[in-house]
Amino acid sequence: MEELSKEYDIHVNSQRKSDLDEWVAHYRSFAIEGQTANYIPALRNAHLSQLGITILEPGGTMIKSGDWEVPFTLQSISKVLSFIAACLGRGISYVLERVDVEPTGDAFNSIIRLEMHKPGKPFNPMINAGAITVASLLPGDSSQKKLEFLYGLFENLLGKRPTINEEVYQSEWQTSHRNRALAHYLKETNYLESEVEEALEVYLMQCSIEVTTEDIALLGLILSQDGYHPVRKEQVIPKKVAKLAKALMLTCGMYNASGKFAAFIGVPAKSGVSGGIMALVPPSARSGMPFQDGCGIGIYGPAIDEYGNSVAGSLLLKQMAQEWDLSIF
């Protein structure tokens, strides 16, 4: 009986791998509909047509396809991790006093709501205003100490110390005028707990952490299991914090395309302008479903659309969600 189910697993997994290879080959060409993130000089030269994916299941099954091993910077995917770190270090209620959990429908770097809605509390931690505020809330009285706290979380989750892409960091540090403007505004309204330059340094360093699709698939997998690390067999993020992070990914993670993502893909996901998408499928109550025990998904495709989301990566995720019935709704 056990032998039979093993054979079944091997068959199902090789079918999924060949489906995935076919979709990756197909959607790669859609990258020409997007552009690399031109506003960050060091991201301009990424190879438009790259597309890669890793899927990790809690039992250890791993499916990889395309350019899965190409390193890229986390950019806004880091916002999920810094929000989790701030909740761990300062407590959920303290963090939520300074940043809300409401989607905006505005661009990720928009400044408009800070002034239009008094007293100017950032709407959520997935947009830049919220993420810069969260960076200032991380424990420690210097940017280095705040970053150490954040790196500690990464080490705990991924089992390795994060590496920083210095070129991307310097490139953004020198050109981040809008983020500086956001930080100054937040300082004036007392939401920022540190100095402007300190919060910016933390925020831009976290954006410059280098990963592969395998790393973000593992982060997604841990979140899919409500903060339980299936390899280390340990609760590494409190369940309450993991659930909050997933709700924020679903409602705000794809910026002003989050509604469309929920409607047509239907899984919690977070994108970054370098072209990464961290997504996850929670365990399903319906038996016989693909990825029934849940999975983490890491995607990289550097051509992004007007919302800042990977063009080919979003199409690939949509195809997977439709074919494998992954929507949580």
Ligand X SMILES: NC(=O)CC[C@H](N)C(=O)O
Q: Which two tokens stand for residue 57?
A: 């299941």
DSSP 81-129: HHHHHHHHHH-HHHHHHHS-----SS-TT--HHHHHSTT---S-TTSHH
For residue 210, say whether it is annotated as part of any ligand binding site: no
Binds ligand X by CB under 6 A, chosen from 65, 75, 133, 194 = 75
Q: Which of 34, 125, 230, 272 binds ligand X (CB under 6 A)?
A: 272
Active-site residue flag, 310: no
Catalytic site residue from 255, 258, 274, 314: 255
Residue 261 near ligand X by CB under 6 A: no
Residue with tokens 């991307």: 168
Q: Which two tokens stand for residue 324?
A: 């494998």
Give least dist CB 250 to ligand X, A: 17
109 binds ligand X (CB under 6 A): yes
Active site residue 311: no
Distance in angstroms (rounded) separating the CA atoms of residues 231 and 229? 6
The strand pair at 209-211 and 228-229 is best described as unpaired
135 binds ligand X (CB under 6 A): no
The annotation status of 76 as a binding-site residue, yes or no, is: yes
Binding-residue pattern over the window 76 to 105 for ligand X, x denoting contact by CB under 6 A:
x-----------------------------
Nearest residue (CB) to ligand X, 132 versus 221: 132
Active site residue 94: no
Contact 282, 298 (CB under 8 A): no
Of 64, 65, 79, 224, the active-site residue reads 79
Examine residue 314 and tell whether it contacts ligand X (CB under 6 A): no
- Is 203 flagged in the annotation as binding? yes
Contacts for 8-16: CB closer than 8 Å, 24+ residues apart: 9/61, 13/61, 13/63, 16/55, 16/63, 16/290, 16/324
Contact (Cβ atoms closer than 8 angstroms) between residue 114 and residue 65: no
Q: Is 8 annotated as a binding residue?
A: no
Whether 79 sits among the annotated catalytic residues: the reply is: yes
Give the nearest distance from C-beta 183 to ligand X in angstroms: 11
Residues noted as catalytic: 76, 79, 203, 255, 273
Residues near ligand X (CB under 6 A) are 75-76, 108-109, 128, 172, 179, 207, 272-273, 308
